[in-house]
């Protein structure tokens, strides 16, 4: 029960109001050490309730202290994507409904003016994406001397998106005396190095195996030729009377095109991807949550940030380039122990991606051909020699041959030029 975790009556009332009765494993194990002021290093899949695991004890701590001064924040939650940052802010609003705590989400793609105005007054809890946060700090809008708690949510995803330098720079600006909480679906060597460098004697929790998909999500592969994917998707929607589904594509252009093609086929849909404004993305997401559209088409940028209650199924129109993204995609369904389904429309040119996914999740995904959509190019059952391995062998042979013919005295012109650091854009220019 939540009342055994040391949370205040105000928070317990808010939790009860949301209809939650039993804490999830990550909440049971993480909340007490966070309340005790310990640093935390947590491995947990999406959909395990980790947002409440860190927001609830942080809110309790903030409620017991003085408000933040102008241009300061007392707690900072760093998230990899706009969608996840906005979702965290929404959860904070629910849990803090009986508390006098100021909060703010700052993300790219939105006007900087209101964010700057709010920061001038100071905010107790700040939720941010790395790019926008450092832009605001560089413009003198934010100081960190009063910071008490830092949360790195989905730290692995932030590094995957290329924010390693931003995170390192940010951590160098923060007070050394602080509580740091790190949450990640996986802990790669880079993540472990980050934890060792910036966490102090952390409590380490592994809530679920990082490389397994949720047991309650049923998964299928539908082999199909690439040109017939749209027709098969429309067929499945009509035959199964799918009323609410999230569809993932690999690219922004693909997401926009698929959304338009579905609409042309009479299936109401909208797309969210990096080329759309934050307002347009929010509008599409709200329309989907309110059942005003049938299909939401998204790219992997949105895969970690979407929290859609009761989502029954996910469709991979394209397999992701990175196998780990498959886990994050299908993690949008089957949340909070609910049953979910994940279907992948796979063409022969995606076989390497499929093998990498099956290797990652340690599971052979069942394949089921659909009548009338049998592919001309069948999916191989047994993996052949990896393409990259063959390429490396060929490259090595070519390099050895070239070396024999090369001059023994290298030219000074062959020395690579050092790259210049990328300039920091203005507040309106960063998309994350």
CATH number of this structure's domain 2-206, picked from the four choices 3.40.50.620, 3.10.20.30, 3.40.50.300, 3.40.30.10: 3.40.50.300
Q: How confident is the model at residue 361 (pLDDT cuts 50, 70, 90)?
A: confident
Give pLDDT, residue 190: 84
Q: Is the pLDDT of residue 4 over 60?
A: yes
- The angle at the Cα of 315, spanning 311 to 321, to the nearest 5 degrees, equals 125
Span 347-369, average pLDDT: 89
Span 171-189, pLDDT tens digits: 999 999 999 999 987 777 8
Q: Is the pLDDT of residue 107 over 50?
A: yes
Span 287-304, average pLDDT: 86
Q: In this structure, are residues 116 and 42 in contact, taking their beta carbons and an 8 Å threshold?
A: no
pTM of the model as a whole: 0.62
Mean pLDDT of all residues in the chain?
84
Phi, psi of 313, rounded to the nearest 5 degrees: -155, 155
Q: What is the CA radius of gyration of the chain?
A: 24
Map out the domains of the chain as residue ranges: 2-206, 217-361
The number of residues in the chain equals 432
CATH topology for 217-361 is: Rossmann fold (3.40.50)
DSSP string, 140-208: T--B-TT--EEEETTHHHHHHTT-HHHHHHHHHHS-SSSEEEEEES---HHHHHHHHHH-SS-EEEE-S
What CA–CA distance (Å, rounded) separates 123 from 272? 29
Fold equal for 2-206 and 217-361 = yes
Span 373-430, pLDDT tens digits: 999 988 876 554 444 444 444 444 444 444 434 333 333 233 333 333 333 444 544 4
Q: In this structure, are residues 26 and 205 in contact, taking their beta carbons and an 8 Å threshold?
A: yes
Strand order from edge to edge, sheet including 73-78: 103-106, 123-128, 73-78, 149-152, 179-184, 40-43, 203-206
The count of other CB atoms within 10 Å of the CB of residue 227 is 9
| Better pLDDT: 163 or 384 | 163
């Amino acid at each position: 029960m939540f009342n055994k975790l040391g949370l205040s009556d105000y928070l317990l009332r808010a939790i009860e109001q949301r209809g939650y009765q039993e804490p999830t494993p990550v909440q049971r194990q993480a909340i007490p050490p966070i309340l005790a002021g310990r640093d935390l290093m947590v491995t947990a899949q999406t959909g395990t309730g980790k947002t409440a695991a860190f927001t609830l004890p942080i809110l309790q701590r903030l409620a017991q202290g003085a408000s933040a001064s102008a241009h300061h924040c007392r707690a900072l939650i760093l998230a990899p994507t706009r969608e996840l940052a906005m979702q965290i802010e929404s959860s904070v609003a629910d849990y803090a409904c009986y508390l006098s705590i100021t909060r703010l989400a700052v993300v790219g793609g939105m006007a900087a003016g209101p964010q700057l105005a709010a920061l001038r007054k100071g905010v107790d809890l700040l939720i941010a994406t790395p790019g926008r946060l450092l832009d605001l700090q560089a413009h003198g809008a934010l100081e960190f001397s009063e910071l008490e708690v830092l949360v790195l949510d989905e730290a692995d995803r932030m590094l995957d998106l290329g924010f390693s330098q931003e995170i390192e720079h940010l951590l160098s600006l923060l007070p050394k005396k602080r509580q740091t909480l790190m949450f990640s679906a996986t802990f790669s060597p880079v993540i472990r190095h980050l934890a060792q460098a910036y966490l102090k004697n952390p409590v380490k929790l592994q809530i679920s195996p990082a490389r397994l998909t949720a047991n309650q999500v049923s998964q299928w592969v539908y082999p199909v030729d690439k040109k017939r994917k749209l027709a098969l998707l429309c067929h499945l929607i009509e035959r199964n009377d799918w009323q609410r589904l999230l569809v993932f594509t690999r690219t922004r252009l693909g997401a926009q095109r698929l959304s338009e093609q579905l609409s042309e086929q009479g299936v109401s849909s909208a797309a969210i991807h990096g080329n759309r404004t934050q307002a347009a993305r929010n509008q599409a997401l709200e329309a989907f949550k309110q059942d005003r559209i049938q299909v939401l088409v998204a790219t992997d940028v949105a895969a970690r940030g979407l929290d859609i209650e009761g989502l029954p199924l996910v469709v991979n129109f394209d397999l992701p380039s990175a196998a780990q993204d498959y886990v994050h995609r299908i993690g949008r369904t089957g949340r909070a122990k609910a049953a979910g389904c994940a279907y992948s429309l796979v063409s022969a040119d995606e076989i390497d991606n499929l093998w990498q996914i099956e290797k990652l999740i340690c599971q052979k995904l069942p394949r089921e051909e659909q009548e009338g959509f049998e592919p001309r190019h069948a999916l191989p059952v047994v993996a052949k020699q990896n393409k990259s391995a063959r390429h490396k062998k060929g490259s090595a042979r070519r390099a050895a041959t070239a070396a024999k013919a090369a001059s023994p005295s290298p030219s000074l012109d062959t020395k690579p030029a050092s790259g210049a650091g990328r300039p920091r854009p203005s507040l309106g220019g960063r998309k994350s």
